[in-house]
Amino acid sequence: MKKTKRIRLFICLVLTIILNGACFPIGILAEDQTEQGPLTPVIVFSTDVVYTGNPQVLAAVNPAPDGPELDFERIEITYKGILSNGEAYPLSTIPPSESGTYMVFAAYRGDENYQKIDNQKEIKIKPIELKTSQFFTEKPITKIYDGNTSVPEVALKGLGNSGVVDADKNKVAFNYRTANFLFKDVKPATANLVILKEITIAGNKAKNYIIVDENQGTKPLSSIDISLVAGILPKPVEVFLVGQDKVYDGTPNLHDYKLTVNKTDLIRGEDLGAFGAENFYPYYGDVNTQQKDVGNYYVWATGGFYLSGINGTNSDNYTIYSQTIISKSKYAITPASVTVIPNYVSKIQGEADPALTYTVWQDDSGDGFVKGLYGNDVMYGALEREAGEAVGTYDVLLGSLNSSNYRIRLADNADKFEIIKKEDVVAVYGGNDYSNGGNSVVEKEEESPVPYMGIALLLLLLIAGAIFFGKNRLTKMD
């Protein structure tokens, strides 16, 4: 039995040897069919590269210098590695695009011109370094003064970095732990900044980037503090203009006023005052027209006033809503009081009445009476006298004399008009003053030379008569 088993084993060994001998010539023939040429292809590997957002070919198989072209189908380049986020990159012929560490395999399977060759190398696709100076926001970082250094979230809208590739703009975000201004005031001693504490990168493409501080040369792996140029804007406050009634003075100017600040616009614990400067001229009227006449008006002012801090409040942190301010209420310009004193006027019986003239005096001027009206003001209408044409004196009446800006009082008007007999014309001539048609400026009338010429003529006649009669008398005596 054992002998039979040994015989079988021997037969199997012999058959194996025979089969190998039979196949050997076939292998030789096969080798002859893929006989390799004398040239060696050149394998070129890339150095470490930086992430671009696109697939990156990290190796190439090139023909020998002055050699024939390679058979593209015999070139084999494959990649395998670990991404920056820790995930595996399985063996693939597709060039990688994500940052990470890759083993790159390159080979050529040989042909009649080139030998078979293969090689491999570890190559890194490094994350893009985002500089702290490259951060930006959608709009300049600002806020209205609120008494603290906090940064509203809306002020940091669109936080980004110019180093992020375009394809990743919507796939990368930046988070931070806190955001604060360096200074709370509008005008600090040095430029204001916003400090973002522990800023980190988030998003699907976050691992392809890293933040570096180019000033310190540090390259943190996770977070860093950055600073951005920022500013705080003054807080608008409302200023109220408080006026008062006044007596007409020929101008639209508001002389007595008070400026107050709306306290509800101020930060709690702060206080401001508003004051008029030398060029502050509040007036009655409306925004475009100044009114000087009697009536009821709002009072206005445009420019010429300023804010001043009280109890340590920094007035630079506030601004006035508008340089044009208006009162909340209307104020009255009331008529000015004037006294009209008629001038003495006379006429010869039977003649027409001359114009009744007068003098105007301002009342309540503060310095006694002042002659005339304000500015170029005039009176309208005319005085009248008591009716009658008999010889004698008459009182002068106010008549239709008027002006809307004045309250008129008639004084010393008794017996101011006289009708004189014709026989008395030499003794009296009517009127010393005259009216220029209602103007408040009363002019002195030149005295007529006629009465004086009559008197002189009469005296000359008397003297001539005396001489004549005296001479005749002397002649008779002789």
Per-residue confidence of the chain (478 residues) as pLDDT tens digits? 444 555 555 554 545 554 444 443 333 334 434 556 899 999 999 999 999 999 999 999 999 999 999 999 999 999 999 999 999 999 999 999 999 999 999 999 999 999 999 999 999 999 999 999 999 999 999 999 999 999 999 999 999 999 999 999 999 999 999 999 999 999 999 999 999 999 999 999 999 999 998 776 555 556 789 999 999 999 999 999 999 999 999 999 999 999 999 999 999 999 999 999 988 999 999 888 999 999 999 999 988 999 999 999 999 999 999 888 999 999 999 999 999 999 999 999 999 999 999 999 987 655 667 888 999 999 999 999 999 999 999 999 999 999 999 999 999 999 999 999 988 665 444 444 434 344 444 443 444 444 555 565 666 666 666 555 554 443 444 4
**Residue 24 sits in the same domain as residue 53:** no
Alpha carbon 110 to its chain centroid, in Å, reads 75
Angle at 233 between CA 231 and CA 236, to 5 degrees: 175
**For residue 391, which amino acid is it?**
V
- Long-range contacts (CB closer than 8 Å, 24 or more residues apart) made by 428-434: 428/346, 429/346, 430/345, 430/346, 430/347, 430/348, 430/354, 431/343, 431/344, 431/345, 431/346, 431/354, 431/357, 432/343, 432/344, 433/343, 433/357, 433/358, 433/359, 434/354, 434/355, 434/357
Domain count of the fold of the chain: 5
What is d(CA 95, CA 107) in angstroms, rounded to the nearest whole number? Answer: 15
Q: Out of 233, 267, 297, pick the residue that ends a domain.
A: 233
**Residue 344 sits in the same domain as residue 419:** yes
Global pTM reads 0.66
Which DSSP helix (H) or strand (E) runs through 32? Answer: helix 2-33
**Residue 202 sits in the same domain as residue 284:** no
What DSSP state is assigned to residue 323? S
**Residue 324 sits in the same domain as residue 345:** no
Q: Out of 306, 334, 362, pick the residue that ends a domain.
A: 334
Q: Out of 79, 100, 126, pick the residue that ends a domain.
A: 126
**Residue 175 sits in the same domain as residue 157:** yes
Task: Locate the DSSP E strands across 355-428.
Answer: 358-362, 370-371, 384-385, 392-394, 396-397, 406-410, 417-420
**Residue 347 sits in the same domain as residue 441:** yes
Assigned domain for 461 exists: no
**Residue 147 sits in the same domain as residue 227:** yes
What is d(CA 392, CA 414) in angstroms, rounded to the nearest whole number? Answer: 12
Assigned domain for 398 exists: yes
Token pair recorded at residue 394: 């008459």
Which residues have a Cβ under 8 Å from the Cβ of 365 and sit 6 or more positions away?
A: none
Assigned domain for 455 exists: no
Residue 457 half-sphere exposure toward CB, CA atoms < 13 A:
7
What is d(CA 128, CA 354) in angstroms, rounded to the nearest whole number? Answer: 106
Boundaries of domain holding 6: 1-33
Strand partners, 397: 384
Residue 310, SS3 per DSSP:
strand
Assigned domain for 117 exists: yes
Assigned domain for 457 exists: no
Q: Are 132 and 212 in contact (CB under 8 A)?
A: yes
Angle at 331 between CA 326 and CA 332, to 5 degrees: 145
Assigned domain for 463 exists: no
What is d(CA 121, CA 248) in angstroms, rounded to the nearest whole number? Answer: 100
Assigned domain for 198 exists: yes
**Residue 251 sits in the same domain as residue 219:** no
**Residue 121 sits in the same domain as residue 137:** no
Which residues have a Cβ under 8 Å from the Cβ of 112 and sit 6 or more positions away?
A: 35, 36, 37
**Residue 154 sits in the same domain as residue 219:** yes
**Residue 242 sits in the same domain as residue 269:** yes
**Residue 200 sits in the same domain as residue 211:** yes
Cβ-in-10-Å burial (0-12, 13-18, 19+) of 276 comes to middle
Assigned domain for 58 exists: yes
